[in-house]
Amino acid sequence: MAAVAGEPEVIRDKAAMRAWARRRRAEGKTVALVPTMGFLHDGHLSLVSAAAAASATGPVAVVVSIYVNPSQFAPTEDLATYPSDLAGDLRKLAATGAVAAVFCPPDLYVRAGAGGSGGAVSCLEEASCGDGHETWIRVERLEKGLCGSRRPVFFRGVATVVAKLFNIVEPDIAVFGKKDYQQWRVICRMVRDLDFAIDIIGSEIVREADGLAMSSRNVHLSHEEREKIVEQENLVALERIDRPAAICVAAWFGKVRLIDNMEIQTHHPDGGASI
Ligand code: PAF
């Protein structure tokens, strides 16, 4: 269906999405993908702006995907209560005037059982998937520390769904928020290791007025925190900040898990700072 001028085209079907993106490339446009799970806020809209400005050499067709990926949630996590507001999301994206298409597929996985429907896709159902989805991408070391130590299936799910989105949209560029610092590094490593011909842009954190990093889960917010400091590229724990470092914080506020991080580029004058 043709979109109203200025409004993004809403695409639900994988093959239609791929065909749409190929047409844009044939027209000479750079295709830039912003993967999201919806319930969009200004942080997401800043990713859209980064995507729209991503090519210095010509027009960019920005695609925003909205898909709450079940495989990155463990059964104990908040998949069922993850906030969503597709109509609101579409209004916000249309208002930017920068989005050409929104890809919101009903499902991206082949499910086990009759007709391929039913059945959650998460780590613990893997063994019982039968003829369902069973191919996973693991960025083996980077996925284990920090958030991965508490969420053993999370990065496997993220890497797998992002690879699926890359294969469907075939973007030239993809934009991820550096708020999800480990996720961004995992994606960069996957793209490098698997030779995806996609430039990954890491977009800076957008904060609420009180300094809280914007997150769709902030709506559930009602306290406690853990923190580590790690070396930036390989996420190795540091005793002293003697090279580019990142402070990565994960905090539980009641039942809501929030994350934040800060890159530290400068070195202490004596060559390092104790942590
Ligand atoms: O950051 C997110 O919203 C999700 O983890 C992503 C990258 C869209 C994959 O589901």
Shortest-distance atom of ligand 1 to CA 68: 10
- Residue closest by Cα to atom 1 of ligand 1: 36
97, 6 contact by CB (below 8 A): yes
CA of 216, closest atom in ligand 1:
3
**CA–CA distance, 49 with 204 (Å, rounded to integer):** 12
Per-domain boundaries in the chain: 9-207
CA–CA distances in Å: residue 198 to residues 32, 65, 162:
9, 16, 12
Question: Cα 142 vs. chain centroid, distance in angstroms?
Answer: 16
**Per residue in 107-123, pLDDT tens?**
999 887 644 445 555 54
With cut-offs at 50, 70 and 90, classify the pLDDT of residue 233: confident
Is 21 or 114 the better-scoring residue by pLDDT?
A: 21
Decide which of 145 and 201 is more confident. Answer: 201
Angle between the N-to-C axes of helices 14-26 and 154-169, in degrees from 0 to 180, rounded to the nearest 10: 50
Token pair of 146 as six digits: 């920090």
Nearest to 205 by CA among 155, 261, 249, 250: 261
Q: Can you tell me the mean pLDDT for 74-92? A: 92
**Mean pLDDT, to the nearest integer, of 143-149?**
81
Ligand 1 within 6 A of CB of 161: yes
How far away, in angstroms, is 108 Cα from ligand 1 center? Answer: 14
- H-helix or E-strand containing 166? helix 154-169
Instruction: Report the residue count for the chain.
Output: 275
What number does CATH give the domain 9-207? 3.40.50.620
Per-residue pLDDT averaged across 125-153, rounded? 79
Q: Whose CA is nearest to atom 2 of ligand 1?
A: 36
Q: Residue 5: CB partners within 8 Å, gap ≥ 6?
A: none
What torsion, rounded to 10 degrees, do the Cα atoms 23, 104, 218, 76 define?
A: -130
Please tell me the least confidently modeled range out of 173-177, 190-194, 257-261: 257-261
Most confident residue range from 26-35, 48-57, 72-81, 203-212: 26-35
Mutation choice for ligand 1 from 46, 68, 69, CB with most ligand atoms inside 8 A:
69
Phi first, then psi, for residue 266 (nearest 5°) are -85, 150
Mean pLDDT across 192-219 = 80
Q: What is the DSSP letter of 197?
A: -
The alpha carbon of 245 and the centre of ligand 1 are apart by a number of angstroms equal to 23
Residue 133 annotated to the active site:
no
CA end-to-end span of the chain: 56
